[in-house]
Amino acid sequence: MDAKQFLAVTAAMVVLGCTPSRKTSFGSFDEYPVYQGKWDEMNYRPSATDFSLWAPTAQEVRVMLYEDGQGGSPKEMIQMELKADGMWTATVKGDLKGSFYTFNVKVDGVWLGDTPGVMAKAVGVNGNRAAITCMEETNPEGWLQDQRPQLKSFSDIIIYEMHHRDFSIDTVSGIHHRGKFLALTEKGTKTYLGESTGIDHLKELGVTHVHLLPSFDYSSVDETRLSEPQYNWGYDPKNYNVPEGSYATDPYNPSVRIKEFKQMVMALHQAGIRVIMDVVYNHTAVTEGGNFERTVPGYFYRQDKNGKFANASACGNETASERAMVRKYIVESVCYWAKEYHIDGFRFDLMGIHDIKTMNEIRSALDKIDSSIFMYGEGWAAAAPQLPANELAMKNQTGLMPRVAAFSDEFRDSLRGPFGNDRQGAFLIGLPGYEAGVKFGLVGGVEHPQLQKDSIHRVPKIWASAPSQMISYASCHDDLCLADRLKVTAPWASPQERMAMYKLAQTAVLTSQGVPFIFAGDEVMRDKKGVHNSYNSPDKVNAIDWRNKTTCKEVFNYMKGLIAMRKQHPAFRLGDAELIRKHLEFLEVPAGGVVAFRINGKPAGETWKDVTVVLNARKEPVKIEVPEGRYQVVCADGKIQQDAPLGVMQGGQLIVSPRSALIVHQ
Ligand code: CA
């Protein structure tokens, strides 16, 4: 065929609605074309809307337009055309704002079924259809002036991990939009006992960041039945780039959830609080019939040796972050939340399923937006992922992921006992043998000469290169929360004794050089009625009972005091491994169940000299030898007061009451 004939044939094919022959099957996932541009699936203009879908194995792709977010037949069906790099496109003239759309992809002769695509930015109820919206119109008043609160260093962060329903569903909260994004915009809310709740409570406590449990569109809660109470943590992703509908006042109107999410972020920012999203890119709720499988079958997930979907998440699948377009997907999605919603941090669920290169690419992409955006994750997986161990973003490879942090289960378990056995206690209940793990957490998981020297107790493997790479915590949404755990592990203890252990735990977390992390409600000794995995338990298990703010005021004041002290005193957040090795010295203790350290001298910016912290989990008082001096007591006997010291200890000995922390300085 000469050139003229070829052109004639191609022109005829275009006229007939065909496109020239193209490759839709590939030898391996590495051969799939990589689209280089910005990955958008819908671009609205008043005069026309552009649709695109990356579906390199498709033989045909259609986009369907609908009047509504659910029900009814398509009002229009448009055939898409394959452009470069596996991207199919179509442009529909006219103003389509307010319409909904789905794609349908044909692979190997089979139509895979309706999907809103993988990149939908707005959806109808339950996220089954994507929506055509104008994003600028979702901005609340003042949004363009919204600014991230100042953050000088990751070491200054204090995280508060909350679920929207836990935080505000209790009627005692006095909050109008209970369980919604808007709950975090209400000022001046109080319990009937007069204690502040909501955003005022967060300000009073003094945390710097809220970490929102999954707030992207997840699948378990039916958004058409919101009059019935339904609860889920939300680790079952459906549409990664859209806020969850059940937290919006109207899940049917696509703009409402977007606008209310932004209102929430803006209100928190105005209160001086940054916002972290819990992101769950490691798996999706549905595999077969889910958005990924209906778009590019097989590509987004790893397969095992038998070609079946692998399952390192224990939720039915694991995504394949190492594949070029999956990596690009995760990077673009994270950046989208950072830019469009002004999100200040990301917590990666089962980060150990992702590969190191992806985490580093996210870090560098976020740095281009704002280097103060924080990243951390669970440096583990539920089962071994289908990728060589040395490529995985596991905790022990944190050194290969600068400025990405991971949770320290070593510190957590040394304090309260292991994940696998709720009934096993540890340091907090006075058991000896856990001191090395507590010390590991106190130094922020970095190398320390005195940690190496401990020959009696097993020292956890060091994995952090900077203290801000370690999340310090004693409890989170997973497993028993601290109040429940202490009830189970110390059933013999009186409520007063358990409160003392509780305060000891919080002192360890908030004097650790790692980044402290508090489970919402821990500041008022919330419980979960003894339920370990409460992911879908009803509100009566998961809701914070705000009457606790009155009955456990002592704990609240103590934690508030610890937070204020940490924020005021750089000794507790040196932020650098070398400085920790230089200043932090563990002291000799007379018995097991006690850990003591001193921050020698005055680190830069510190007004206190020789800050000394003793954690005494024993049921007896202990004496600690210290250099002769005059020590101001800021924390003792379960009380903390930094401005007007509680007393003075003169001489070369510190006496520490049973089950309590002592904090002094010269
Ligand atoms: Ca949903």
Distance (angstroms) between ligand 1 centre and the Cα of 450 equals 50
Distance (angstroms) between ligand 1 centre and the Cα of 218 equals 4
Determine whether 114 is an active site residue: no
Q: How far is CA 353 from CA 27, 278, 325, 327, 633, in A?
A: 25, 15, 16, 12, 46
Catalytic residue, from 60, 378, 522, 606: name it: 378
Distance (angstroms) between ligand 1 centre and the Cα of 100 equals 16
pTM, to two decimals: 0.95
Residue 119 phi, psi dihedral angles, 5° rounding = -120, 20
Q: How far apart are CA 36 and CA 448, in angstroms?
A: 45
Q: Supply 216's token pair.
A: 């992207």
Give pLDDT, residue 271: 98
Distance (angstroms) between ligand 1 centre and the Cα of 147 equals 28
Distance (angstroms) between ligand 1 centre and the Cα of 555 equals 36
Distance (angstroms) between ligand 1 centre and the Cα of 231 equals 12
Q: How far is CA 305 from CA 132, 302, 309, 310, 391, in A?
A: 41, 10, 9, 9, 18
Give pLDDT, residue 310: 97
| Residues β-bridged to residue 647 | 633
CB 467 within 8 A of CB 514: yes
Q: How far apart are CA 641 and CA 633, in angstroms?
A: 8
Determine whether 332 is an active site residue: no
- Please work out, in degrees rounded to the nearest 5, the angle formed at the alpha carbon of residue 96 by the alpha carbons of 90 and 99: 100
User: 48-77 b/e with 16+ CB inside 10 Å = b?
Assistant: ebebbbbbbbbbbbbbbbbeebeeeebeee
- Please work out, in degrees rounded to the nearest 5, the angle formed at the alpha carbon of residue 614 by the alpha carbons of 638 and 433: 110
Q: pLDDT under 50 in the chain at which residues?
A: 1-21
CA dihedral for 141, 213, 425, 405, sign (positive or negative): negative
The string of DSSP letters for 134-203 reads -GGGGPPTTGGG--PPP-S-GGG--EEEE-HHHHH-SGGG--SSTTSGGGGG--S-B-TTS-B-HHHHHH
Distance (angstroms) between ligand 1 centre and the Cα of 123 equals 10
Catalytic residue, from 114, 156, 322, 349: name it: 349
Q: How far is CA 157 from CA 203, 273, 440, 515, in A?
A: 14, 10, 19, 6
